């Protein structure tokens, strides 16, 4: 068997240039409207939207295609409460001692503090875990590669999919996040990577007036 015996034809959606341009502009416009939201409505969201967003995240490229991620969806009020309580303990330590002045100053425009009511108000929390190992079909432990990069890309795709479906998200990373392994009873080879809060924004939601850097500042086109 040669290396490429198990290859299949690529399905590729080739676009005409004018359509390509239009699609790229529309996509940028859509993404430019995404804001991190901290005021959530408690309105529930359709289960299949979450499932499809996770399916989309699961299409992310990953080191050696090991797909080193796990998405734990939390909707139960009691579990959300436990997560909030544990997160607030860590966040209190962060805001009171661990974060230095420079960090607190950088955070000031965001108006954040140690209170995390959204962890209970929002209908859905998706806790993304990164897996140091994958247990294969035969129960063998297989090493994963570029885990942080792979899971980071999957998280970006998850956020994009949820935004594209009309939902608001908040990337929350209480640190340390070990309590999530205990509450969600995940195996020891999984580490919490990101806690993504999702739902509809509250009717009166406000966001900080912060700007994105222009293209010229975030890129260089090498001649
Ligand atoms: N985890 C804390 C602090 C925090 C840190 C960064 I860097 C942010 O961009 C936002 C918040 C919190 O969630 O409040």
Q: Whose CA is nearest to atom 4 of ligand 1?
A: 107
Distance in angstroms (rounded) separating the CA atoms of residues 189 and 68? 11
Q: Is the pLDDT of residue 1 over 80?
A: no
How does residue 79 score in pLDDT terms, banded at 50, 70 and 90?
very high
pLDDT value of position 4: 86
Percent of the chain with pLDDT over 70: 100
pLDDT value of position 3: 83
pLDDT value of position 175: 86
Residue written as token pair 């929390």: 125
What pLDDT digit, counting tens, does each position of 11-43 carry? 999 999 999 999 999 999 999 999 999 999 999
Q: Which is the closest atom of ligand 1 to the Cα of 99?
A: 3
Residue 168 Cα to ligand 1 midpoint, Å, equals 17
Grouping H, G, I as helix, E, B as strand and the rest as coil, residue 165 is: coil
Residue 160: half-sphere exposure toward Cβ, Cα within 13 Å: 16
Q: Whose CA is nearest to atom 5 of ligand 1?
A: 107
Residue 174 Cα to ligand 1 midpoint, Å, equals 7
Q: Which residues line ligand 1 (CB under 6 A)?
A: 91, 94, 107, 110, 112, 172-174
DSSP character for 60? S
Residue 16 Cα to ligand 1 midpoint, Å, equals 43
Burial class (CB in 10 A: 0-12, 13-18, 19+), 73: middle
Beta carbons within 10 angstroms of residue 195's beta carbon: 22
Distance in angstroms (rounded) separating the CA atoms of residues 172 and 119? 9
State pTM to two decimals. 0.96
All domains of the chain in start order, with CATH: 37-203 (3.40.109.10)
Tokens coding 76:
């139960």
Residue 21 Cα to ligand 1 midpoint, Å, equals 36
The mean pLDDT of the chain is 96
Q: Whose CA is nearest to atom 7 of ligand 1?
A: 107
Of 109, 97, 123, residue with least CA distance to 211: 109
Distance in angstroms (rounded) separating the CA atoms of residues 72 and 78? 15
Distance in angstroms (rounded) separating the CA atoms of residues 41 and 155? 22
What pLDDT digit, counting tens, does each position of 190-214 carry? 999 999 999 999 999 999 999 999 9
Mean pLDDT, residues 67-93 taken together = 97
């Amino acid at each position: 068997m040669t290396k490429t015996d198990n290859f299949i034809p690529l399905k590729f959606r080739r676009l005409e240039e004018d359509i390509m341009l239009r699609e790229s502009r529309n996509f940028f416009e859509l993404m430019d409207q995404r804001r991190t939201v901290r005021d959530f409505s408690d309105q529930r969201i359709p289960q299949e939207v979450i499932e499809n967003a996770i399916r989309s995240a699961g299409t992310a490229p990953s080191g050696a295609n090991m797909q080193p991620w796990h998405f734990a969806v939390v909707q139960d009020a009691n579990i959300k409460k436990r997560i909030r309580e544990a997160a607030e303990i860590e966040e209190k330590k962060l805001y009171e001692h661990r974060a230095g002045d420079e960090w607190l100053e950088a955070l000031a425009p965001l108006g954040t503090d140690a209170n995390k009511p959204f962890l209970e108000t929002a209908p859905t929390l998706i806790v993304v875990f990164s897996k140091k190992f994958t247990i294969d079909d035969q129960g063998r432990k297989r090493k994963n590669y570029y885990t942080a990069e792979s899971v980071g890309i999957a998280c970006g795709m998850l956020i994009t999919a949820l935004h594209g479906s009309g939902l608001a998200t908040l990337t929350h990373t209480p640190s340390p996040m070990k309590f999530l392994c205990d509450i969600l009873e995940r195996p020891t080879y999984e580490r919490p990577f990101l806690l993504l809060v999702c739902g509809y924004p509250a009717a009166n939601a406000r966001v900080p007036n912060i700007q994105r850097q222009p293209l010229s500042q975030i890129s260089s086109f090498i001649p």
